[in-house]
Chains A and B, each alone.
Chain A
């Protein structure tokens, strides 16, 4: 019910916002000019920060969810600690993906002179948007992945404490969950692959 209301609100929001702008006689052409002239270095910095930041939020979230359950369950069954560290390692890997992609992205950023009217050339603008996109994709995918691995890891720890044959089966679920982060990394690298600030044309 709440999701339905949220969806309806989201669909109605953008047209009503544009209608508001039209009714207020806002110059949309000027707004677009302003948007076009935002520096691509802003977009690329934003992309890189989203990449690292969201990946780390995802990894941290997953680790605390799994870790608190693991520590509590280990009071009764200390044998579960060594195997269940795998869940923590999967979460940590998510943060590492974010750092790797961020390093790849930041090597692409090079200084380019703007044109006389302050706008940037086509290659620089495209590269800025590409790095924004790549960073966002990786960041959001890793956030979801870290959270998912964390919740499954918590359940894995608790069910391992109850019945030690369950751990391997639940590990398969976790492996599928951690694949989500890899998807984000792959798409991010593909998107940023063509980004080149100093290309001609």
Chain B
């Protein structure tokens, strides 16, 4: 098992590692379940399995009223194919006490989940709820988890020690072979290895299970588990959704704009590669606001170097959504 350093907490690395691990695990489960021998032909089968998975709908777990995506393959798929970004809201197992870098699950906006559902790319499944609030049961669960972590830590420590020993031995044999220098210092290190080696807790790998193999993936089961969309659809939601749909269709990437006082932040491409260009404010076309509100928005936009975009779905279907840009004029 390869040990990672915790300094590398970037999204890409985590998603990639876990994607690979999960995909390997899932393919293994699939092949075990169907008793297919590992032979050259199975590579094509793996390819087929991968392609099938990409066209299969993604499972969105609705926890309370919050749509969540758990599997890293799904996160990748929706981002690459549908341009849906979402927000990571989970703690990292090895860096829990910070919110600078977060991990899975990916929280989707209501509009994102609705778009996935309407285009058939996802099914909404009710998320698992906590079965009981009994503190005693929770304490037991916590104890067994801590024990499991401790066991894993000891095993990883043991494997790390063996790996280090192997490395030192290899270095020793190579140096001895190359030039007849004494390998005394290395021998000394090797002998004192067991006593001097320490495996830091922060370097431990922690596996978080985010999917259960062979449960709920068959189409019949999945459809049975699928929930109806039970979230309220008021006028404001409708306006937001229509704007979201239209912007997504035009190819923009959209995230939530809570920090900026608007509805959405609009990017010309993936948010990892670009700054946002616009702050979208969704308003019904006929609703009136005081001019001082426009002033606030314009000033905000000027401060953060983004254009404010007023977005209103038109009342006639043919016109789609109407956009007006507001910029501070800079005439002081």
Partners in one complex: no
Where the two chains meet, the residues of A that have a C-beta atom closer than 8 Å to any C-beta of B are none
Residues in B lying within 8 Å of A, measured CB to CB: none
